[in-house]
Every structure is written in C-alpha cells, then in structure tokens.
Amino acid sequence: MRKFKVMSVFGTRPEAIKMAPLVRELAARPQIESLCCVTGQHREMLRSVMETFQLQANYDLDIMEPQQTLTSITTKTIQGMDNVLEQCSPDLILVHGDTSTTFAGALSAFYHKIPVGHVEAGLRTYDKYSPYPEEMNRVLVSDMADLHFAPTKTNAENLRREAIRGRIFVTGNTAIDAMRTTVRSDYRFTTDILNRLDFRTRRVIALTCHRRENYGRPMENIMRAIRDLISNRPDVEVVYPVHLSPRVRECAFSILGHVERVHLIDPVNVEEMHNLMARCYMVMTDSGGLQEEAPALGRPVLVLRRETERPEAVAAGTARLAGVERSKIVAMSSELLDDPRAYAKMAHAVNPYGDGHACQRIAQAIEWHFGLSQTMPEDFSP
C-alpha cells in the first residue's frame, strides 16, 4: 500500500529543533512516509541541530546568503520548492512557526494545491511590525493552512476569533518534546567556558538576542544594560552565545567584547543550550524558543522585547517583559539579582507550553484528518 507522504519544510535553528521530534514521530507511524525538505535559510546553525537529532534532509535548497534579505529568502525558497514539489508530490506539507521559510514553504504548497499543516499556529501580538516580519508571516500562513496545530488554548482562541479556515487542534509546543531528550542532570558540557564555570558559586545569566526589530538602538540598549548590571556584582557571569547574523555580532562584540565576566561565544548546540538553561540563575532573551523552554526548567525569564506573543509564562509568573530601554532592563534584572523573594516568586517550574507529547497529538491529528485512523487526539491542557 502506498504510504501517506508528509513533507516537513524548515530552514532555521528554532524550526529544526521544534520539528525534529515530529519528523521522527511521523517516521515511526507505519502508514506515513516522513520526508524532510530544508531550505538552508540558516546553514551552520541548522547543521548543528540536524546533527544533534540525527536528521537527514531528503531535499536541501541551500539558499543562505550573507546579509540575506527577506526577499531573497522568500524568492529562493519558492523557486527551489517548485522543483521539489513537482518531483515528490507530497500529500501534506508541514511548516513551523513564523519565519520566511515558513511563509514561503506554505505559499509554495498552496501554489501546488497541496494541503498545509501549520505547527505552532495562532501566536499573535497583533502588531504588524513586531515581531518583524514574523507576525505577518504567521498571519498569512494561518490563511493558507488547512490544519492548525496550536500549542495552547490561547493560541487556538486567537485563530477562532479570526474565523480561520481549517481544523484547529491544541497540541502543546513541540519544543517541550525536544527537551525530553536533551536535558540531563549528568550532562557534561563540551564548550570550554561552560565546563569551567562553577554554577554552584557563580550566578550565571544565559543571554540571547537576535530579533530584527531589535537591530540598532534597542539592541545597543540591551548590551549596555548588561554591562551596567554586571559591573558591581562579582559573582555574576553572563554567557551569551551570539547568533551568526553579522548585524547582531557587530553590536554584541563592539559593546560587550571586552567586558569582564561576559562570555561571548559562538552559538552552541541545542543540548549545550538546554543544559545551560537548566543550570543558570536566570535567562534574558528576545528569543521565542527560550521563552518556552526556560519556564519548563524553572528559570525566570526577562523578555527583551516590547511585547510578547507568549503571554502564558507571564501569566504563570515566570516571565516578565523587560522592554528594550536600558534603565528598565537594569532595574528589572537588578531586582531578580538582589531580592531573593522576587527571585523565588519567579523561579518555579511551570509547563504552560506543553507536556512533551505534542508530536504524538499532531501525528494522531494528521492520521485522523486524512482517514488513516479513527481516533482524534485530545487537546493539551496544562
């Protein structure tokens, strides 16, 4: 019997981390052929994830350019996908989240009249330019998708309010599934500085920052705030794996390059990152993925953005919006460093984003929707 062909399309680090457990879950289902098409929007950072999760791409569009523009990512993906879809004729395309790969992948599927499943659907800020271009990418993908895999009830409600076409399932976020295999109490770091740091005597802040809408002044403010808050606290160390984007690296190295106890390192593999978060004092980030992962590990998160499409951790009390103004970031991080009660209030593990079984629900939903199984998945609830 011909198997049902599901092609997962992704291209950046976070999409790969969150799609890896799903690609494997689908491959384990006897009625499904699980295929992988990577756009290569990220090169080194994608390779690292593929190696960790031992994933092989069936197709690689290899589109990355230095200083790439939104137009080049989008056009090169659509052009590349044309050949792939003609060759392979999948029965369903899965895209993830809100990157340019996500948008162009869904659009290509639509042009070929192939159904689209959207993993991590329904996140919204309702601000067209923030995050940019992600908010518009995910809104447009919601319009094109037939199956919407919303991580949380709030995400599903957003889609229902918008009267989106297609079926909506509340599945949990696959990021939490990925963490089931990466986080280990006996994990030994391979990155030199992470091995040397004594997490029992030093308070380590895990920092990441890369968003396009933070380029320029907001990112400079963030870097200066880090410099301010570390200067009079000798037991605090900052570990910042700096994204490979030239704009980000220029800013980070020019302001924090020679600051004592700030460790600027290359991006680390996902096992290193998850285990760093599991051992750190707190997380400061503008990343989407870190906002989901840190609460599950009981680490307070200061979100270095003006708004967030992930309000669940804020509501649960483990994340706070610190904005992009230097003085506010310093004030909020100082509170967490100097007031044990404020810290204790935020440092508790919660799982608003998933229970580690999102991929099973998504695979089951696909089988049910396409008549391969009679069993509909139950919604995730925390």
Question: What's the CA gap between 108 and 88, in Å, rounded?
Answer: 13
Residue 24: its H or E element: helix 13-27
Question: What's the CA gap between 343 and 310, in Å, rounded?
Answer: 21
Contact in structure between 81 and 101 (CB atoms under 8 Å): no
When asked if residue 273 is in the footprint of ligand UDP (CB under 6 A), the reply is yes
When asked if residue 117 is in the footprint of ligand UDP (CB under 6 A), the reply is no
Owner of token pair 């004092």: 281
Q: Please provide the DSSP assignment of 88-128 as one string.
A: H--SEEEEETTSHHHHHHHHHHHHTT--EEEES-------T
- According to CB under 6 A, which one of 14, 172, 323, 352 is a site residue for ligand UDP? 14
201 alpha-carbon distance from chain centroid: 30
When asked if residue 356 is in the footprint of ligand UDP (CB under 6 A), the reply is no
Q: Which residues contact ligand UD1 by CB under 6 A?
A: 12-14, 41-45, 65-68, 70, 73, 99-100, 133-134, 210, 212, 244-246
**Whether residue 2 lies in the annotated active site:** no
- Of 13, 138, 148, 210, the active-site residue reads 210
Question: What's the CA gap between 53 and 177, in Å, rounded?
Answer: 12
- Of 43, 212, 233, 249, the active-site residue reads 212
214 binds, among ligand UDP, ligand UD1, none (CB under 5 to 8 A by kind): none
233 binds, among ligand UDP, ligand UD1, none (CB under 5 to 8 A by kind): none
21 binds, among ligand UDP, ligand UD1, none (CB under 5 to 8 A by kind): none
When asked if residue 21 is in the footprint of ligand UDP (CB under 6 A), the reply is no
**Whether residue 120 lies in the annotated active site:** yes
Which region among 23-31, 139-147, 289-297, 300-308 touches ligand UDP (by CB under 6 A)? 289-297
| CA-based R_g, the chain, Å | 20
When asked if residue 170 is in the footprint of ligand UDP (CB under 6 A), the reply is no
Which region among 72-80, 287-295, 307-315, 345-353 touches ligand UDP (by CB under 6 A)? 287-295
The minimum distance between CB 125 and ligand UD1, in angstroms, equals 13
**Whether residue 369 lies in the annotated active site:** no
Residue spans of beta strands (DSSP E) within the chain: 4-10, 32-38, 59-60, 92-96, 116-119, 147-150, 167-170, 203-208, 236-241, 262-265, 282-285, 301-303, 319-321
- According to CB under 6 A, which one of 288, 323, 352, 377 is a site residue for ligand UDP? 288
82 binds, among ligand UD1, ligand UDP, none (CB under 5 to 8 A by kind): none
- Of 25, 29, 118, 120, the active-site residue reads 120
369 binds, among ligand UDP, ligand UD1, none (CB under 5 to 8 A by kind): none
- Tell me the two tokens of residue 263: 């460790």
What is residue 200's DSSP assignment? T
**Whether residue 98 lies in the annotated active site:** yes
- Tell me the two tokens of residue 142: 């919601």
Question: What's the CA gap between 155 and 231, in Å, rounded?
Answer: 40
Mark 75-114 with x for binding to ligand UDP (rule: CB under 6 A) and - for no binding: ----------------------------------------
At what angle are helices 270-279 and 288-296 packed, to 10 degrees?
50
- According to CB under 6 A, which one of 287, 308, 318, 333 is a site residue for ligand UDP? 287
What is residue 170's DSSP assignment? E
Q: Which parts of 190-249 interact with ligand UDP (CB under 6 A)?
A: 208, 210, 241
**Whether residue 210 lies in the annotated active site:** yes
The minimum distance between CB 21 and ligand UDP, in angstroms, equals 12
Residue number, nearest CB to ligand UD1 = 99
- Of 15, 98, 177, 292, the active-site residue reads 98
Contact in structure between 112 and 330 (CB atoms under 8 Å): no
What 379-382 contacts at long range (C-beta under 8 Å, 24+ apart), as own/partner pairs, is 379/153, 379/169, 379/170, 379/171, 380/151, 380/152, 380/170, 380/171, 380/172, 380/354, 380/355, 381/153, 381/170, 382/152, 382/350, 382/351, 382/352, 382/355
Binding stretches for ligand UDP (CB under 6 A): 13-14, 17, 208, 210, 241, 267-268, 270, 273-274, 287-290, 293
Active site residues: 98, 120, 134, 210, 212, 243
